[in-house]
């Protein structure tokens, strides 16, 4: 099997059904030639490919650099990586040093804005053509059209797509998605709030009602971890979830800023939306920030940054669990940050460090995880009060409290995107299927932002109605306040009505 180089990206095909890209692998000397030797594990794709009699066990790739975007689960020989974090004692740090710990690695948004702004403007001006051009540039894919109408696509739930008599949407995968959907739906349906109606004073009624935002765009990132191993399988799984969630259109676009821009401005084929949701990297955040302050008139869910977790652990916490929780965020990418807060005495920190190093070196994405650990850290707190205090200062996206009687500390938590209580609650359940939303504030924004919820898709309208008696009771106070502010027209809007009421009352007496 030959792999042809195309700049830094390339692809190979298996009977035109599977198209992959590969990321850099260690180079070995094979038969005197400078080649790359790698063993390939097909994960779910193996359900299809293993039926072939000629599935290779080893592949010799005739290239010195290959890149991996749509990921087959590639296992290659590698040397052990040192996976470790810096450590600090809170009691020995000054307030300035503590404040520096809570600060995330700095992102130079000025340079990112310089890259994103021209793309945002180009998509606004050229629409579909710009989306197609950037998709070719970034993903090496030429699109015939950028929008798929979900109602016109095959239904994977009723009629599976088959290759070699095997359903591409595996029943186990479908069941997992169904469980996640049911839990997420149940939790968010329970968030429906009743209409509020209050009579504040005699004759003065106020009411608040909710209305759904007419159209929203949901950005679903691939980033460094595209879920399925092929474009074909990705389409089936995304289509299944899109249909279940009631999505009407799917935008195919290469480059996060391109997709965000197309949904914000609207193009000939892509409907304009009123609000954009979804996590992503610094380019997603930059595009969102630019567009919400532009003539596009689009709202966003929240600023987004690299994924992060803070784990508070005491002596009862299992080192294996602690390490796995930290690494589950570190593997997202080299810009992720993980923080371990040790609460009290008796914690076997050496066992935790050894477990982190052991598990990290067994991860397919160990390169990402190890780089994330380089700018992550452990802090030692004297007790849970000090540990929670630091967590509130840090304001993590994900907070895991793996201590005895974790629930009793719930009331002390002020700043966190989502909290995971107790030793049997890994952060992964919130990422996938517990029911809570995993689109959460990062980068310290949990101090003032909430995660996505049902409210995020709603807007609220207030109503008020006054009777004659109500205006007579309230009007004089309003007139006084308007006079203090020097807004005579505001005052007259009240006093002229009060004069009419008084005139009507006099005429009725006579």
> SS3 string of 393-428?
HHCCCEEEEECCCHHHHHHHCCCCCEEEECCCCCHH
Q: Is 175 a catalytic residue?
A: no
Tokens of 77: 């020989």
Q: Is 398 a catalytic residue?
A: yes
* CA–CA separation, 335 and 374 (whole Å): 10
Given the residues 188, 321, 332, 398, select the one marked as catalytic. 398
Please say whether the beta carbons of 24 and 66 come within 8 A: yes
Given the residues 331, 353, 397, 427, select the one marked as catalytic. 397
**Three-state SS for 70?**
coil
* CA–CA separation, 309 and 401 (whole Å): 11
First to last CA, the chain: 104
* CA–CA separation, 214 and 51 (whole Å): 47
* CA–CA separation, 311 and 391 (whole Å): 9
Q: In what order do the strands lie in the sheet with 196-201?
A: 196-201, 204-212, 458-466
User: If we measure between CA atoms, which residue out of 309, 289, 286, 371 comes closest to residue 335?
Assistant: 371
User: If we measure between CA atoms, which residue out of 313, 387, 383 comes closest to residue 355?
Assistant: 313
User: If we measure between CA atoms, which residue out of 146, 2, 150, 27 comes closest to residue 77?
Assistant: 27
User: If we measure between CA atoms, which residue out of 281, 257, 264, 181 comes closest to residue 216?
Assistant: 264
* CA–CA separation, 405 and 422 (whole Å): 7
Categorise residue 240: left if φ over 0, alpha if ψ from -120 to 50, beta otherwise.
alpha
* CA–CA separation, 264 and 386 (whole Å): 44
Active-site positions read 397-398
């Amino acid at each position: 099997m030959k792999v042809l180089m195309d700049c830094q990206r390339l692809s190979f095909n298996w009977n035109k059904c599977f198209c992959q890209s590969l990321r850099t692998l260690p180079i070995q000397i094979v038969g005197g030639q400078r080649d790359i030797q790698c063993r390939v594990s097909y994960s779910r794709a193996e359900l299809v490919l293993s039926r072939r009699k000629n599935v290779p066990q080893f592949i010799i790739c005739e290239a010195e650099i290959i890149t991996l975007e749509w990921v087959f689960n590639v296992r290659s020989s590698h040397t052990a990586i040192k996976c470790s974090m810096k450590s600090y004692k809170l009691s020995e740090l000054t307030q300035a040093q503590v404040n520096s710990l809570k600060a995330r690695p700095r992102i130079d948004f000025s340079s990112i804005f310089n890259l994103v702004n021209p793309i945002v403007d180009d998509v606004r001006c050229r629409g579909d053509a710009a989306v197609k051009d950037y998709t070719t540039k970034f993903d090496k894919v030429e699109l015939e059209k950028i929008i798929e109408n979900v109602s016109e696509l095959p239904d994977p739930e009723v009629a599976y797509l088959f290759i070699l008599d095997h359903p591409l949407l595996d029943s186990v995968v479908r069941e997992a998605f169904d469980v996640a959907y049911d839990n997420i739906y149940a939790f968010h349906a329970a968030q429906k709030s009743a209409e509020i109606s209050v009579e504040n004073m005699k004759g003065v009624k106020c009411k608040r009602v909710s209305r759904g935002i007419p159209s929203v765009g949901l950005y679903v990132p691939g980033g460094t971890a595209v879920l399925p191993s092929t474009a074909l399988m990705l389409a089936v799984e995304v289509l299944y979830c899109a249909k279940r969630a009631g999505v009407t259109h799917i935008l195919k676009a290469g480059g996060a800023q391109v997709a965000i821009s197309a949904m914000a401005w609207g193009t000939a084929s892509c409907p304009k939306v009123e609000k954009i949701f979804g996590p992503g990297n610094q380019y997603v955040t930059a595009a969102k920030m630019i567009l919400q302050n532009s003539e596009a008139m689009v709202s966003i869910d929240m600023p987004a940054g690299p994924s992060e977790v803070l784990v508070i652990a005491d002596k009862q916490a299992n080192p294996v669990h602690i390490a796995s929780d930290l690494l589950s965020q570190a593997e997202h990418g080299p810009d992720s940050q993980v923080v371990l807060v040790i609460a009290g005495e008796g914690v076997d920190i050496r066992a935790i460090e050894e477990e982190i190093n052991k598990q990290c070196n067994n991860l397919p994405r160990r390169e990402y995880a190890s780089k994330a650990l380089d700018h992550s850290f452990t802090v030692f707190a004297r007790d849970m009060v000090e540990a929670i205090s630091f967590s509130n200062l840090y304001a993590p996206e994900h907070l895991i409290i793996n201590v005895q009687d974790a629930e009793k500390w719930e009331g002390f938590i002020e700043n966190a995107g989502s909290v995971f209580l107790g030793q049997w609650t890994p952060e992964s359940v919130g990422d996938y299927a517990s029911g809570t939303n995993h689109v959460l504030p990062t980068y310290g924004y949990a101090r003032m932002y909430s995660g996505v919820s049902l409210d995020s898709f709603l807007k609220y309208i207030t109503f008020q109605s006054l009777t004659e008696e109500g205006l007579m009771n309230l009007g004089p106070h309003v007139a006084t306040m308007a006079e203090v502010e020097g807004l005579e027209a505001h005052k007259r809007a009240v006093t002229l009505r009060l004069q009419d009421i008084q005139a009507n009352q006099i005429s009725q007496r006579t």
